[in-house]
Structure 1
Amino acid sequence: MLSAKTQLLSLLVFLLTQPCFSIDFITPNQPLKDGDFLISQAKTFQLGFFSPGNSTKRYVGVWYYNFPQKYVVWVANRDNPLSNTSGVLTIAESGQLVVAYSEAPEAPIWSTNISLSRDNYNNSARILDNGNLVVFRDLYSDKNVLWEGFDHPTNTYLPEMKVGLRKKTGEAWFISSWKSPDDPGTGQYSYRIVLNGTVPQLYIYDGSKPYMGMGPWNGITFSGLPAYGVDVADQLSQLFYIDDENEVSNYYTITNSSYVTRSVMDYTGVAQRLDWNPQSETWKASWTGPDGQCEKYGHCGAFSTCNSFRIANQGCDCLPGYTDKFEGGTTANSFVGCVLKPGASLCRSGEGFRKVSGIKVPDAFNAELQSDLDIKACHNLCLKNCSCTAYGASRLNSDKGCLTWYGELIDIREFSDGGQDIYVRVDHDELAKDSKKKILKVLLPVLFIIVLILVITCWVLRRKKRERSKRNLTMSNGSERDDIAFMERFSDVRSSNESGTTSAEVHCFSLSTIIAATDNFSFANKLGEGGFGTVYKGHMRGGQDIAVKRLSITSKQGLEEFRNEIILIAKLQHRNLVRLLGYCIQQENILIYEYLPNRGLDRFIFGGKSLLDWRTRFNITMGIARGMIYLHHDSRLRIIHRDLKASNVLLDASMNPKISDFGMARIFGNDQNEDTTNRVVGTYGYMSPEYAMEGHFSIKSDVFSFGVLLLEIISGRRNSSTFDDEKTVNLVGHVWDRWLEGKPLEIVDPSLEESYDVNEVLRCIHTGLLCVQESAAVRPTMSEVASMLCNEKTPPAAPEQPAFILKGKGYLGPVKFSYNTESGGSSGAQMTVSIVNGR
């Protein structure tokens, strides 16, 4: 009779020899030979022998199962390769997991080096579904873990893998790069948490020197990574931080099993978080570091900040109270740090602190954590100690805990969004500047009101004088009379806003003020020009940037349009409408707007490779739609814009759209829906057919213009573009042809590649075609447009014949176009075209 153990072993051998059978464990009697593999139970990871790149050496590693390429995430014998394919991974008699040559198993080249206290013949090793290779004592249980591969990471940071250190022993878990694509040996770059005194910080190291500092933990993330790609809001992953008496560590977990992500420390010194796109079968970087000079450790030296958008001094600038070491010297193009301003004293000489906002806090190697102090107590503590150079809150959204810095302040970066605040120690003179600024902030409004009263008084007196001499004016003075009448007709703009309350936001500026702000309308300040005239950038004495619209003598926008634009923009308040700051009617007609640094949308979507990804384009589209909904439905007066186009959509610093140019707009009463004019104004290509042909306009005229603009945003081409291989005369016709052929995605801007959501783009094309239908009656309202864009379902109506297209191919009737929205990616999109033939 065979023993039970022998029978079990025979059964196991039988199962292992069956086709398509895979195992995930190693036992003393079941080693893993070169050419065999272990596959985790859920088939997410695979373990086996491999040769990286062009190398012929063999390593034991872990990689993603069934991916198009072998993305290795962990290597056992990274610094001890095998020279041939006779290797074996097994549980030795000692109980250790070893890599050895099959002909010499007693001489391992790599071992787990476990401290064993008893007979461990029954140890086993298993590859888990998170990619962790684990050695167990006897049974597969969390209580029997002897050794984990996650405690010895290589160049990849996986979910549930820790980076950190044990405080008592100094044992560290850190990510280190490969030497090269062909050599997974321990490279020179590492990603690790370091404990400087009492303050843990995250760094990328180049050998023994910091290469990028990511700052201390602030309760949400590390202070140098305000936009680190942990998508808690989308429930994709969560970031955890441990800091107790035993260890300080950091790890993250995945809450959506379909989300595949990893962080890699590249052999070139670049760290990236990579997210897998199953549709394109590629990795997309959601975070990269260091990204630019400012992210390299200490780039600007001591007592300085670095801003990647700052051109001068390699992006460097001094903190308040400090000056460039070589200011005015001969060290051109070299910035090595800042020093205290000459004559300044920071010790018991009336010194104080200046706030510096939106930054990565300085390196905390010389900082102390005050865990029980609030920010006020921290201020007092730092002020009493002359060696304390700065202080700041250690945790975001917390009243307790702060950091105090002593000595040099190094590795500070400025962020355009996010970041933290610190308070830098400055001398009495620097504080006095702050006091003067505060006084000016109070005095300037008072002085402005006084000046405004004087100006209004002078204007009233001048007006009365003109009235007395009005009968004696000649025809040559007609323009002056127009100005007077104009001011009378819209004087209410300066006195009330839409709700009827007093408003001081729209001002009448003198021509001399505008000339000074624009440097006499210099060519260097010119932003652009059109039929209305020229737009200049200006800079007011108070530091505010403005956009100045100067109407030319031959402008298509006359006095009535000028008055119209002032009244409309002054009364309309919405985040997606441009804000009017003032006007000037002295000698010429001028409008002053808020300055939007990214200028017109047309600069980003036309004329070459676009700078906008699909998500940004979609957000801009929704912003324009919200602005139009406000004009059509939500404002006190119903407004028809009549000139909506890409160049009339301006973008602020955060790429938020703002609709501009209301010179052609018309006001409707609450009960009025349409009107007719003998004077057709606007831009051909964006005009609806009923308006261009008959002068008939309504809110559906603006819907048509929005539809043309939406198709331009998707395609990156103007409606007036030519298509040599087509019979169409414009973009709308080109899109319609592709729609009829069932190939609408061919019109998408090639620069987007495959980064967009197919279903979302199809829905946008469908909605755009509904907007440009020839019949105004069947076009949707802007509220319906916004609903269709946001709704994941197919728009309910099929588009009919668009306007202004050649009909050489024949119009076959309404087209029904549907697509599957159950899949979130492009691979799930299915298209059906049904053409109803006309009789």
Structure 2
Amino acid sequence: MKLGINFKTGHTWSLTSWRSENSPASGSFTLGLDPNSTSQLVILWQGDIYWTSGPWHNGHFEYVSRFAYDFKPNFRYFSDENEKYFIYSVDKSITYSRYKISPRGVIREVGNSFAPFGACSVALEAGDERKAGCTKKKLLPECRDPNIQFVIDTGYMDRAGFKFPENDNLSSFDCEDKCISNCSCVAYSSVNNDGTGCEIWSQGSVLPSYMIQRKIAHVVPHKEENKRQQELLFELGAATKPFVKYSNVKKLEKDRKKSNELQLFSFRSTATATNNFSIENKLGEGGFGPVYKGKLLDEQEIAIKRLSRSSGQGLTEFKNEIILIAKLQHNNLVRLLGCCIEGGEKILIYEYLPNKSLDFFLFDPNKKYLLDWKKRYNIIEGIAQGLLYLHKYSRLRVVHRDLKASNILLDNDMNPKISDFGMARIFGRNEFEANTNKIVGTYGYMSPEYAMEGIFSTKSDVFSFGVLLLEIVSCKKNYSNHHHERPLNLIGYAWELWKEGRALELMDQTLGDLCPNDVVLRCIHVGLLCVQENPMDRPTMSDVVSMFTNEILQLSEPRQPAFFIGRSPVESGISRNKSENCSLNNASISVMQAR
């Protein structure tokens, strides 16, 4: 038999796969001589190179193991001006020898399960199996776990799937590729009895049946990934309980409030609630991944944070957030309804808050008009109460470590709720500060002792609250240019106005003349007390709440704040234009070595 090409006639000798084991129609794979004039065999999949044998040299192919030739046909290569081809002969002791290429692109000896030339996977990363001759077909979509596995069950799917127009032309191998390339696909199956055609599902499960018997491949977690997930679920223990019929979520939520248990959602339920994580349901995207709006079967609206695989928030932070928030109950903390840990996915399910986050209004020149002083003061008080609960009245003493405008969510009535506890730390009742080499948080909100030395305490959150308080009053971000003559940050600008007796100039001018100046001035005063450089000088959150509720309480004079920038552009060597572009308080950092 020849595998090659006749240059005069253009005729090629090749092997083509069947579409399936039971359908002799031409399939997707072809084995033949390399069309690029090299002395090697190639397998083409849908016209693209899928496998190469490597150049023929000293009686063997470079990428084919030597043992593949033991007691096998002897290949020879011939080439002249008229034609070139590979041909093989067999030893007289072998009475029957024939090769074929399977519907899944594997070269096999008929009557023997041995595959002398190896096999490649559907979506192969470049170089993974280079020695075996496999070439890159395509990269996995970012949404897919590189360890994705399918298990085949017999039965039928409980939901309708999607069939492709070219159904009868697709092999099961092509169908698998269609599924892997579709981020929402959870299962696939051939359509016809001969194993051809393709149907994929974005939701549903395989159900047994005596009448309908289809072989359906569905995604299962990789063994190691599944092991890690099971370990995580075991660690969560009493913090979660399985979420079975998610149409009863309201009843389960009532039970959760009584027992402090969170629900364990299935991936299917989260995908269904978000219409398979459609772009129309996307609310936004943070450093850890996208957030989607979802709706359960009982019409309850939810917010779903789907951690990206490249996210800096791993299993540790994920577990941290679940365990922490399961034990925290307060009107000014966002409620976590449950989580999903399945197939490499790490998903958090929260109550849905329609007014997004505080920064959405605060730093928008048009939307900030929706925040009158009454709403702003209510937001300030709510944040203070939430922090006081975390620091003093919860069953755990919690330091949030990433308090900022984007982590303050707003409900229908613009009431604030502190969110995102992935970076939070639990303190013992007799523990007041800790040290870490891994600095987490957001530039512009981090206290100096934390940013510079890795030391954090409840006073670190107090500093962040002070920054946030000044931002709410002024509608300005901490790190941006606030004065036409000096590249001040917001803290420095507020301090200089305070020293000059002009602190009210910090107030956002859209608040108008009806704003109570004495209350605004008191808020600025409290804000400056919170951002003092020495943590011992800063008030506790108990003190802060008293300062707001007790108007006759005399406040001490603030000392110079941390990160005070007061030099002129000439002195500092920083141009005003450069300063205008230096707004850093939107990005969370997860790793930074302390000095």
Partners of 1:699 and 1:504 lie apart in 2 by: 25
Partners of 1:533 and 1:581 lie apart in 2 by: 18
Over 3 Å counting, the alpha-carbon distance change for 1:758 and 1:794 in structure 2 is farther
1:602 aligns with 2:362: no
Q: Which has the larger radius of gyration?
A: 1
1:586 aligns with 2:350: no
Q: Which amino acid aligns with 1:781?
A: T
Over 3 Å counting, the alpha-carbon distance change for 1:565 and 1:734 in structure 2 is same
Describe how 1:8-407 pairs up with structure 2 within 5 A.
none
Uncovered stretches (5+) of structure 2, i.e. residues with no partner: 1-204, 206-220, 243-252, 569-595
Quote the offset at 1:494 in angstroms.
1.9
Partners of 1:790 and 1:591 lie apart in 2 by: 35
Partners of 1:535 and 1:501 lie apart in 2 by: 24
Choose which of 304, 309, 312 in structure 2 pairs with 1:556.
312
Matching residue of 2:556: 797
Matching residue of 1:645: 404
Matching residue of 1:735: 494
Matching residue of 1:538: 294
Quote the offset at 1:501 in angstroms.
9.6
Matching residue of 1:84: none
Partners of 1:514 and 1:575 lie apart in 2 by: 25
Q: Which amino acid aligns with 1:693?
A: M
Partners of 1:592 and 1:535 lie apart in 2 by: 10
Over 3 Å counting, the alpha-carbon distance change for 1:805 and 1:522 in structure 2 is same
Over 3 Å counting, the alpha-carbon distance change for 1:557 and 1:738 in structure 2 is same
For each residue in 1:383-413, what CA deviation from the matched residue of structure 2 results, as whole angstroms up to 9, or x when unmatched?
xxxxxxxxxxxxxxxxxxxxxxxxxxxxxxx
Q: Once structures 1 and 2 are overlaid, which stretch shifts more, 745-754 or 716-725?
A: 716-725
**Across the two proteins, how many residue pairs are aligned to each other?**
335
Partners of 1:736 and 1:775 lie apart in 2 by: 15
Uncovered stretches (5+) of structure 1, i.e. residues with no partner: 1-454, 456-473, 810-839
Matching residue of 2:125: none
Quote the offset at 1:728 in angstroms.
3.7
Matching residue of 1:521: 277
Over 3 Å counting, the alpha-carbon distance change for 1:484 and 1:505 in structure 2 is closer
Matching residue of 1:706: 465
For each residue in 1:291-348, what CA deviation from the matched residue of structure 2 results, as whole angstroms up to 9, or x when unmatched?
xxxxxxxxxxxxxxxxxxxxxxxxxxxxxxxxxxxxxxxxxxxxxxxxxxxxxxxxxx
Matching residue of 2:88: none
Q: Is the 8 A contact 1:728 1:805 kept in 2?
A: no
Quote the offset at 1:724 in angstroms.
4.9
Matching residue of 1:94: none
1:481 aligns with 2:237: no
1:776 aligns with 2:505: no
Matching residue of 1:747: 506
Partners of 2:393 and 2:561 lie apart in 1 by: 28
Higher relative contact order (CA 8 A, sep 6+): 2
Q: Extract structure 1 runs of 4+ deviating beyond 6 A.
A: 499-502
Over 3 Å counting, the alpha-carbon distance change for 1:592 and 1:743 in structure 2 is same
> What is the DSSP-based 3-state SS (H/G/I as helix, E as strand, rest coil) of the residue aligned with 2:444?
coil
Quote the offset at 1:807 in angstroms.
3.8
1:508 aligns with 2:264: yes
Q: Is the 8 A contact 2:317 2:422 kept in 1?
A: yes
Q: Is the 8 A contact 2:241 2:263 kept in 1?
A: no
Q: Which amino acid aligns with 1:630?
A: Y
Choose which of 570, 573, 577 in structure 1 pairs with 2:333.
577
Q: Which amino acid aligns with 2:347?
A: I
Quote the offset at 1:781 in angstroms.
0.2
Matching residue of 2:375: 616
Over 3 Å counting, the alpha-carbon distance change for 1:797 and 1:668 in structure 2 is same
Choose which of 400, 403, 417 in structure 2 pairs with 1:658.
417
Over 3 Å counting, the alpha-carbon distance change for 1:677 and 1:621 in structure 2 is same
For each residue in 1:343-397, what CA deviation from the matched residue of structure 2 results, as whole angstroms up to 9, or x when unmatched?
xxxxxxxxxxxxxxxxxxxxxxxxxxxxxxxxxxxxxxxxxxxxxxxxxxxxxxx
- How does the TM-score come out when normalised to structure 2? 0.54
Q: Is the 8 A contact 2:483 2:493 kept in 1?
A: no
Over 3 Å counting, the alpha-carbon distance change for 1:598 and 1:559 in structure 2 is same
> What is the DSSP-based 3-state SS (H/G/I as helix, E as strand, rest coil) of the residue aligned with 2:441?
coil
Partners of 1:627 and 1:634 lie apart in 2 by: 10
> What is the DSSP-based 3-state SS (H/G/I as helix, E as strand, rest coil) of the residue aligned with 1:642?
coil
Q: Is the 8 A contact 1:632 1:640 kept in 2?
A: yes
> What is the DSSP-based 3-state SS (H/G/I as helix, E as strand, rest coil) of the residue aligned with 1:491?
helix
Q: Is the 8 A contact 2:358 2:410 kept in 1?
A: yes
Choose which of 466, 477, 491 in structure 1 pairs with 2:237.
491
Q: Is the 8 A contact 1:650 1:659 kept in 2?
A: yes
Q: Is the 8 A contact 2:296 2:302 kept in 1?
A: yes
Q: Which amino acid aligns with 1:684?
A: Y
Q: Which amino acid aligns with 1:608?
A: P
For each residue in 1:74-109, what CA deviation from the matched residue of structure 2 results, as whole angstroms up to 9, or x when unmatched?
xxxxxxxxxxxxxxxxxxxxxxxxxxxxxxxxxxxx
Partners of 2:353 and 2:394 lie apart in 1 by: 23
Q: Which amino acid aligns with 2:452?
A: M
Q: Is the 8 A contact 1:726 1:734 kept in 2?
A: no
Quote the offset at 1:805 in angstroms.
1.9
Partners of 2:399 and 2:441 lie apart in 1 by: 12
Matching residue of 2:37: none
Q: Is the 8 A contact 2:474 2:507 kept in 1?
A: yes
Q: Is the 8 A contact 2:256 2:262 kept in 1?
A: no
> What is the DSSP-based 3-state SS (H/G/I as helix, E as strand, rest coil) of the residue aligned with 2:306?
strand
Choose which of 463, 476, 482 in structure 2 pairs with 1:723.
482
Over the matched positions of the two proteins, sequence identity in percent amounts to 57
Quote the offset at 1:786 in angstroms.
1.0
Quote the offset at 1:505 in angstroms.
5.0
Over 3 Å counting, the alpha-carbon distance change for 1:495 and 1:795 in structure 2 is farther
> What is the DSSP-based 3-state SS (H/G/I as helix, E as strand, rest coil) of the residue aligned with 1:585?
strand
Quote the offset at 1:495 in angstroms.
5.9
Q: Which amino acid aligns with 2:291?
A: V
Matching residue of 2:384: 625
Partners of 2:267 and 2:564 lie apart in 1 by: 47
Partners of 2:396 and 2:483 lie apart in 1 by: 45
Q: Which amino acid aligns with 1:487?
A: L
- How does the TM-score come out when normalised to structure 1? 0.39
Over 3 Å counting, the alpha-carbon distance change for 1:636 and 1:804 in structure 2 is same
Matching residue of 1:306: none
